[in-house]
Amino acid sequence: MAQFKSPADLARTRQRIISRRARKRFIAINASGTCGLAYGSDQVFQAFVAEIERQGLTEQVGVRATGCLGFCENSPIAIIFPEEISYFRVKPSDVPEIVSKTLAGKKLVNRLLYKDGNGKKIVREGEIPFYKHQSRIVFGNNRLIDPKSIDDYIALGGYSALSKALFEMSPEEVVETVKRANLRGRGGGGFPTGKKWETTRNAPGEIKFVIVNADEGDPGAYMDRSLLEGNPHSVLEGLIIGAYAIGSHEGYVYVRQEYPLAVENLFIALNQAREYGLLGKNIIGSGFNFDVAIHRGAGAFVSGESSALMTAIEGRVGEPRPKYIRTAVSGIRERPSNLNNVETWATVPLIISKGADWFTSIGTAESKGTKIFSLVGKVNNTGLVEVPMGMTLREIIYDIGGGIRQGKKFKAVQTGGPSGGCLPESLIDIPVDFDELTKVGSMMGSGGMIVMDEDDCMVDVARYFLTFLAEESCGKCIPCREGIRQMLHILIRICDGQGQTGDIELLEELSEVIQDASLCALGTTAPNPVLSTIRNFRDEYEEHVKERRCPSGVCKALISYYIQPERCQACLLCLRECPVGAITGGKNLVHVIDQDKCTKCGTCLEVCPPRFAAVLILSGEPVPAAPPQGTKVERTKGTQQ
Amino acid sequence: MAQKLSKIDRIIAKYQADKSALIQMLLEIQRENRWLPPKALERLSQRLGIPTNQIYHIATFYKAFSLIPQGRHAVSVCLGTACHVRGAPRLLDRVTDALCIGPGETSTDMKFTLSTVNCLGCCALGPVMVVDGEYHGNPSGKEIKRVIAMCD
Ligand SMILES: Cc1cc2nc3c(=O)[nH]c(=O)nc-3n(C[C@H](O)[C@H](O)[C@H](O)COP(=O)(O)O)c2cc1C
Ligand code: FES
């Protein structure tokens, strides 16, 4: 592979790749993304490769293993280009039919098409509601790229932004463009990227570092991983452009070791970029030198914080330090260091190619461009979605997400990860951008969006996040280490039915201290999940404390499972499945739960056939006395055992 | 042991005995042995000139490292937010019952180690259990038992 010595070399190679592929159709399968693989997309991919060869179509059809395609719920996914025919939940056994009907012929395999709420079949990817309302400017290329092939990226115009920056723009102009685009960091804080670059650029010292933050510690977000896995070159191109703008010659990608496929794809990408002369000495013949090393993080949420991450790169324990001096001025080995999130870096090439004006035309007044969210939890269409800033939560959850699963009622949406908050129904018409979310006591964070329904207990959710944070606090500063732990004790107490009058106020008071006195943002934002649930769902806290009642039926100490004798059809299912043998009864005899033996595992509720729906969760009320032993069931009409 | 040490020396050589690559070396030792044997840490300390207490500081700080040997089969349950709201605590209870070990523990016959993780990035499958790299979305009690019985 020859190294590019000039922009013309890059352009020629691109032309060559495109013309070589001109007549080829191709089929994309999400077999190079962890979510797809978990659903068995690799077997589907292998089946396509074999079948296309068997039917002699290798000349006409290319097969591509792509990264995450967003609509994880319906994996394995196969999309046929250029028509964008989309097949969902494809099994290896479906493959011969797809190849002979759709690839060799022009027929569709109807049963694999997307069906909308009214049962209407939709053929084209872009017309499916889940995709139709998105603007996938950053994430959309995943579907056109095999992440292990730099040629795929170059064919789409990849690295032309880098070439433009190096040959047509001065470093100052690059910084200025990013500033004008008003790009804000996608990693949590929303700090203006151009401003940060400028500080690092102007900081004294010859040696400077640029770093990609791919630690992605938010336990419910995976967009960074999907970008790195699915389109590593876009992140790398952004990083090289940033290095040029800042005047850095050494970079790092800090990626958590829990993401082996991301590390693998990135490693391949770095090597391919070096072979093409896009990384290393004299990049594209411009005289600019830059190279990147991968640093794997060993699993600590707090290590995603900027000063902690830089300490970890030095090989020490990744704990934060007080930031009297910003890392932009003194970071890795006390050199000026610029850290940005994966998604931030991946957005940079687009801004350079298409210009700041294009970017500022998308989004709201102070939040420009798009944001990728992981839309998960109790929503029908689970997956990664990219929308312009300013779309409302309702549009995201209902138009894209297809509403709440199993026809349940929406209760809250949690955004911003462990530093964020839970927003109730009354707030779901707010436009989603950095400032609006902060205003209502939550955060954009890295883009986790967890939808909750009537069965989720808000006190339990607060307890969940504080458990996470108590474990992840590095322990260096006392307000965070001890304060979070005390708050957690109180929350556990409330969930256990031992809440005391004044607990809620005590939580609020502790929150204030932790917010004011903690060393890093882990601590200062840690009370958010508690404060936002108290603010928006105070009744629920009060019910736990005063009435010893968990209205959602989640907190184990406050609930009992009960079989309604008049509904029980003695089908024996729960009786057999109960892991502790707490259910008595028999054929034709009403089943009864022995409350003393019951461990509240919920198995009975789960296995009770929905048409009987005999099992109830009771909270805050006594369990009715059991019918006398040997009571026969009343057969309800139309049900037969 | 001599053989093991030379393996560690190879890892050290791969990173040119660079102190700042300590975490990377520990990750490789962890991957090869599924834990960090004390002898290996002593060797690292000698070769790199880093006090053992500093190495232990790192080894105990990060979740990826284990200072006790791990079972042959790795079972983990995702406790990420999305899995939590879809019933991960109940799944964890069931897996705990089925394996007779709690999270973070290894069975006495060294067969299983149970751990918890935060978001595996396949929230659509949630709640998720992973056994030796195989994903199982919302497995029923029966399925958990079946999967566990298949491990030898
Ligand atoms: C406790 C803690 C954890 C963080 N984890 C991450 C993370 O996993 N990924 C990330 O990009 N930023 C994380 N951040 C934010 C970073 O400190 C930093 O602001 C960000 O990477 C800067 O990039 P951006 O300006 O492009 O957003 C974390 C911050 C804190 C306080
Ligand atoms: S929360 Fe479990 S996979 Fe994401």
Ligand 2 touching residue B117 (CB < 6 A)? no
In our burial notation (b when 16+ CB lie closer than 10 A, e otherwise), range A238-249 reads bbbbbbbbbbbb
Among A38, A376, A461, whose Cβ lies nearest the Cβ of B135? A38
Q: Is A166 exposed, middle or buried (0-12, 13-18, 19+ CB in 10 A)?
A: buried
State the DSSP code for A315: T
DSSP A555: -
Name the DSSP class of A625.
P
B24 interface with A at CB cutoff 8 Å: yes
Q: How far is CA A210 from CA A76, A167, A224, A301, A445, in A?
A: 36, 21, 17, 21, 21
Question: Are the C-beta atoms of A95 and A48 separated by less than 8 Å?
Answer: yes
Scan for tokens 């031992």, then name that residue.
Answer: A498
Pocket of ligand 1 (CB under 6 A): A 185-189, 191, 193, 213, 215-217, 301-302, 304-306, 339-341, 344, 446, 520-522
CATH classification for the domain delimited by A21-125, as one of 3.40.50.1580, 3.40.50.150, 3.40.190.10, 3.40.30.10: 3.40.30.10
Copy the structure tokens of residue A23.
């007549």
pLDDT at A641: 43
Q: How far is CA A264 from the centre of its chain?
A: 20
Residue A106 burial by CB count (10 A; 0-12/13-18/19+): exposed, middle or buried? exposed
In chain B, the residue whose alpha carbon lies closest to the alpha carbon of A455 is B85
**Which of these, B99, B152, B82, lies nearest to A453 by C-alpha position?**
B82
Q: Which two tokens stand for residue A578?
A: 């109960």
The predicted pLDDT at position A633 comes to 85
CATH no., domain A370-453: 3.10.20.600
Residues spanned by CATH 3.40.30.10 within chain A?
Answer: 21-125
Residue window 112-131, chain B: list those with CB within 8 Å of chain A: 117-126, 128
* Calpha distance B32→B17 (Å, rounded): 18
How many Cβ atoms sit within 10 Å of the Cβ of residue A105?
A: 9
CB contact (8 A) between residue A377 and residue B65: no
Q: Provide the CATH number for the domain formed by A458-546 in this structure.
A: 1.20.1440.230
Task: Give CA separation, A371 vs A176, A398, A434, in Å.
Answer: 22, 17, 10
Q: Does A257 touch chain B (CB under 8 A)?
A: yes
Q: With CB atoms and an 8 Å threshold, state whether A316 touches B58.
A: yes
Q: Contacts of residue B26 in chain A, CB cutoff 8 Å?
A: 298
Q: Which of A80, A76, A103, A99 is nearest to A27 (CA)?
A: A80
Tell me what pLDDT residue A224 has.
95
Determine the 3-state secondary structure of A633 from DSSP: coil
CB burial class (10 A; 0-12, 13-18, 19+) of residue B109?
exposed
Indicate which of A261, A450, A605 best probes the interface with B, i.e. most B CBs within 10 Å of its own CB: A450
- Low pLDDT (below 70) residues in chain A: 1, 636-641
Alpha carbons within 13 angstroms on the beta-carbon side of residue A321 total 17
Instruction: Classify A541 as helix, strand or coil.
Output: helix
Supply the DSSP string of A291-304, one letter for each residue. Answer: EEEEEEE-S-GGGG
Distance of CA A569 to the CA centre of its chain: 43
pLDDT score at A626: 86
Chain A neighbors of B123, CB-CB under 8 A: 72, 220, 222, 374, 376-377, 382
Q: Over the Cα atoms of chain A, what is R_g?
A: 27
CA-to-CA distance for B92 and A95, rounded, in angstroms?
Answer: 36
Fold of A559-619: Alpha-Beta Plaits (3.30.70)
Complex confidence, ipTM: 0.90
Q: Give chain B positions within 8 Å (CB) of A374.
A: 82, 123
Reply yes or no on whether the pLDDT at B1 is more than 80: no
A193 compared with B121, residue with greater pLDDT: A193
Minimum-distance ligand to the CA of A318?
1
Which backbone phi and psi does A189 adopt, to 5 degrees? -80, -25
Domains defined for chain B, CATH in brackets: 2-61 (no CATH), 73-150 (3.40.30.10)
Residue nearest to atom 31 of ligand 1 (CA): A521
Q: Is the CB of B50 under 6 A from ligand 2?
A: no
pTM assigned to the model: 0.94
For A150-360, CATH gives 3.40.50.11540
Pairing verdict, β A291-297 and A250-256: parallel
CB proximity A474 to B under 8 Å: yes
- Say how many CA atoms lie within 13 Å of A278 toward its Cβ: 30
Q: Which one, of A529, A548, A547, lies nearest residue A537 by Cα?
A: A529
Q: What is the location of CATH 3.10.20.600 in chain A?
A: 370-453
Tokens of A430: 């707010």
Secondary element (H or E) of residue B46? helix B38-48
CA distance A71 to chain B (A): 9
Q: How far is CA A131 from CA A35, A364, A447, B64, B69, in A?
A: 18, 21, 18, 36, 46
Q: In ligand 1, which atom is closest to the CA atom of A344? A: 26
Q: Is the CB of B79 under 6 A from ligand 2?
A: no
Contact list in B for residue A316 (CB cut-off 8 A) is: 54, 58
Helix B38-48 with B22-33: angle, nearest 10 deg: 150
Mean pLDDT of B144-152: 92
* CATH 1.20.1440.230 boundaries in chain A: 458-546
